Amino acid sequence: MSIRIGILGYGNLGRGVECAVKQNPDMELAAVFTRRNPADVHIMTETAKVYHVDEAVKMKDEIDVLILCGGSATDLPKQTPEFAQYFNVVDSFDTHAKIPEHFADVDAAAKKSGKIGLISVGWDPGMFSLNRLYANAILPEGTDYTFWGKGVSQGHSDAVRRIEGVVDARQYTIPVEKALTAVRNGENPTLTTGEKHTREVFVVAEEGADREKIEKEIKTMPNYFDEYETTVHFISEEQMKAEHAGLPHGGFVIRTGKTGWEKEHSHVIEYSLKLDSNPEFTSSVIVAYARAAYRLNREGQSGCRTVFDIAPAYLTVKSPEELRKHML
Ligand code: NDP
């Protein structure tokens, strides 16, 4: 029998999960739940239906894993513990500083219901976190570096959109090539975030808006831009639609370290991602981990987990025999 997947929240990630489920032969989309009017939400899978979120609990026996696709700021802190009372759940919670708190909330709910709650799955947190862990375990004496981009930061784009006179904005985070090269060469540089990344902003301004003022406001915005070298371009609405509609992202996790006794040897571990679509890739990671949540719960396990707790073989549809024969 297929693993029956439910999606709660149908934005970029919700759509991405729907695409990923289609690529996994052992899964099927059972239902999509939304807080909006279901008649206004149009999904692609012909065999599944959209329901209002209030219908979800009634369908708990028809869904093996509910994937929570709401936003990290306000949706997931509430939704993940709430739905872990009834379902195995997976989310992509990415507010790094609040992960311990979120873990505790989901753990309490999932232990009580006997379900699995798998949180903070994606690429950062997610695949980047795993690669930081592997590299640290292997090279205890070393230095970690994470570079992001080139990619769209939704948070920074939103911050620019809130400036008076701005109609639309897209912000790209770009790694500084010189800093990347120094790290890859094992030079172990000490780098501030501002030395690792630059920011490029494309802005559609209101007609007659004071562009100089907007540019200054962007470049001096505390926490978001003031510590970075930032370039601002004013473009037309048509250009924004034609050239900046996608959500690409990616980055590099690098650890450099040394081994040896009398003679030292240097090593560089690097994991990189170049993603045309941040949400579609994130969703593909989530769906692989949904399989693990399902399997763990079938084994009788419950409580909260992160990517650190999941053995790799639980992620794949391939059998342990196939894995040993072809992938080891
Ligand atoms: P979206 O803004 O596209 O969607 C969030 C929610 O908004 C949806 O679930 C949807 O819920 C609601 N929504 C309301 N109105 C609309 C509308 N008109 N169209 C679409 N959705 C609407 O966010 P994303 O899907 O891009 O991202 C979700 C979260 O994923 C982010 O907050 C981020 O924290 C996390 N993320 C994590 C990553 C990682 O690596 N761990 C990487 C990328 C993202 P409803 O259907 O109930 O209305």
For ligand 1, atom 35, which residue shows the shortest CA distance?
92
Cβ atoms of 83 and 8 closer than 8 Å: yes
* Conformation bin of residue 300: beta by default, left when phi > 0, alpha when psi is -120 to 50: left
3-state secondary structure 7-22: EECCCHHHHHHHHHHH
Nearest to 34 by CA among 58, 60, 6, 62: 6
Best residue among 10, 249, 271 to mutate for probing ligand 1, ranked by most atoms within 8 Å of CB? 10
Q: What are residue 31's phi and psi, to 5 degrees?
A: -165, 155
**How far, CA to CA in Å, does 1 sit from each of 4, 23, 25, 60, 65?**
9, 16, 11, 17, 14
142-182 confidence digits (pLDDT tens): 999 999 999 999 999 999 999 999 999 999 999 999 999 99
Ligand 1 cavity residues, CB under 6 Å: 9-14, 34-36, 69-72, 92, 94, 122-126, 278-279, 282
N- to C-terminal Cα separation, the chain: 28
pLDDT at 1: 85
What percent of the chain clears pLDDT 90, i.e. is strictly above it? Answer: 99
From the CA of 71, give the closest atom in ligand 1: 32
Span from the CA of 8 to the centroid of ligand 1 (angstroms): 10
Mean residue pLDDT of the chain comes to 97
pLDDT at 9: 98
**Amino acid in the structure at residue 262:** E
Alpha-carbon distance of 49 to 196, in angstroms, equals 45
Best residue among 12, 49, 287 to mutate for probing ligand 1, ranked by most atoms within 8 Å of CB? 12
Best residue among 15, 49, 53, 69 to mutate for probing ligand 1, ranked by most atoms within 8 Å of CB? 69
> Running DSSP on this structure, what letter comes out for residue 300?
T
Span from the CA of 10 to the centroid of ligand 1 (angstroms): 7
pLDDT at 34: 98
Alpha-carbon distance of 198 to 50, in angstroms, equals 41
| Average pLDDT, integer, range 264-290 | 98
For ligand 1, atom 29, which residue shows the shortest CA distance?
71
Span from the CA of 18 to the centroid of ligand 1 (angstroms): 13
pLDDT at 259: 97
Please check the confidence at residue 193 and state whether its pLDDT lies above 90.
no
Please check the confidence at residue 88 and state whether its pLDDT lies above 90.
yes
Quote the distance between the C-alpha of residue 96 and its chain's center.
Answer: 11
Give the SS3 label for residue 252.
strand
From the CA of 279, give the closest atom in ligand 1: 43
From the CA of 278, give the closest atom in ligand 1: 43
From the CA of 70, give the closest atom in ligand 1: 9
- pTM, 2 dp: 0.96
For ligand 1, atom 31, which residue shows the shortest CA distance?
71
Alpha-carbon distance of 155 to 87, in angstroms, equals 30
* Interface predicted TM-score (ipTM) of this complex, two decimals: 0.98
pLDDT at 230: 98
